Structure 1
Amino acid sequence: MSEPFKTYYFEDLSVGMRESLMKTVMNEDVVGFAELSGDHNPIHLSEHFAKKTRFGERIAHGLYTASLISAVLGMYLPGPGAVYLHQTLNFKGPVKIGDVVTISVEVTELVEKGRRCKLHCEATVDGKVVLDGEATVMVPSRESAQPKAAAAS
């Protein structure tokens, strides 16, 4: 993404529209997410502890990876003004420190009543799906975004 954000109104959306974001998971991201969330599980923070787990090394919080979906929805598709209503998440594999995660979302359904947009969401590492699910967001209409005409004086 070269642009700081994109804004789509409900009327601009169509089934099949896609957007994606790539992010390298850094130690600082995992430590920061632990601070924000209060989840200090040593599988995320302690190399010594994580070595003894089935993953053999530290892994990022699942909800950290899911939060990257929020970044795509809120900044690129549909973009600013979109409001989360629902999200399903299926965790399918670990994300490790240093992994490059690709988050992709695709519009799968548009419901005019309430300006609802459903999107398939997926996170991959090296082409392998590590998380998927479906999001439903409410999207502003072009009409609601127009400034109201000033009253005649």
Structure 2
Amino acid sequence: MNTPLATAETSLIRVGETCERLVRFTRDDIATFARLTGDSNPLHHDTQAAQRARHGEIIASGQQTTAMMIGLVASHFSRDDDGQARELLCLNFNFAFKAPVFAEQELVLHWRVATVEWNATLGGWLAHVDGRATVRHAHPCVIGRGTLLVKGIDA
């Protein structure tokens, strides 16, 4: 069903809108996150095992980087610091791992809104977002795509 909102633009979320955050994982951060999530892969906590392996040093688990990426997008699109109360649901995310994330590397987490459309059935704006975690001044380690549902909250 087509409503006036279906063709109107929204200021809740816009095509081209971006959010970004810098993160750095210490060796302790990596080991603690792996332990808390049940990831016993020694590449996340055992320096000797990591040195024998392909990458040669401790690496963050993929879920640690993607958790930070999802946290960034969820925080940004549920904010109300611009005077507009929002409700956000993260509906779907897919990630591809392109390179390891080593301890003490500075990562830039970045998301960009690719499309936005009104969905009358869900009563909100569906947005497709493209993201990446990139080593500062280098290559992407993780790329992602997600689907969000953003709704305005009446005061």
Same fold, TM exceeding 0.5?
yes
Q: Displacement, 1:97? A: 0.6
Partner of 2:3: none
What amino acid is the match of 2:94? Answer: T
Q: Displacement, 1:24? A: 1.0
Partner of 1:21: 21
User: Are 2:126 and 2:150, in contact at CA under 8 Å, matched by a contact in 1?
Assistant: yes
What amino acid is the match of 1:121? Answer: G
Partner of 1:104: 110
Whole-angstrom distance in 2 between the partners of 1:119 and 1:37: 26
Whole-angstrom distance in 1 between the partners of 2:63 and 2:140: 15
Q: Displacement, 1:71? A: 1.7
Whole-angstrom distance in 2 between the partners of 1:35 and 1:48: 18
Whole-angstrom distance in 2 between the partners of 1:110 and 1:138: 10
Whole-angstrom distance in 1 between the partners of 2:36 and 2:128: 28
RMSD between superposed Cα atoms in Å: 1.4
Partner of 2:131: 121
Greater per-residue strand proportion: 2
Q: Provide, for residues 31-52 of structure 1, a one-character-per-residue CA deviation record: whole Å limited to 9, x for no partner.
A: 2211221001101110010101
Gaps of 5+ in 1: 1-9, 148-153
User: Are 1:73 and 1:82, in contact at CA under 8 Å, matched by a contact in 2?
Assistant: no
SS at match of 1:82: strand
Whole-angstrom distance in 1 between the partners of 2:22 and 2:28: 17
Whole-angstrom distance in 1 between the partners of 2:28 and 2:46: 13
User: Are 1:72 and 1:79, in contact at CA under 8 Å, matched by a contact in 2?
Assistant: no
What amino acid is the match of 2:154? Answer: Q
Gaps of 5+ in 2: 1-9, 80-86
Whole-angstrom distance in 2 between the partners of 1:36 and 1:137: 27
- TM-score, normalised relative to structure 2: 0.81
Pick one of 80, 84, 87 that aligns with 2:90.
Answer: 84
Whole-angstrom distance in 1 between the partners of 2:131 and 2:88: 15
Pick one of 133, 143, 154 that aligns with 1:132.
Answer: 143
Whole-angstrom distance in 1 between the partners of 2:78 and 2:20: 12
What amino acid is the match of 1:118? Answer: H
What amino acid is the match of 2:21? Answer: L
User: Are 1:93 and 1:131, in contact at CA under 8 Å, matched by a contact in 2?
Assistant: yes
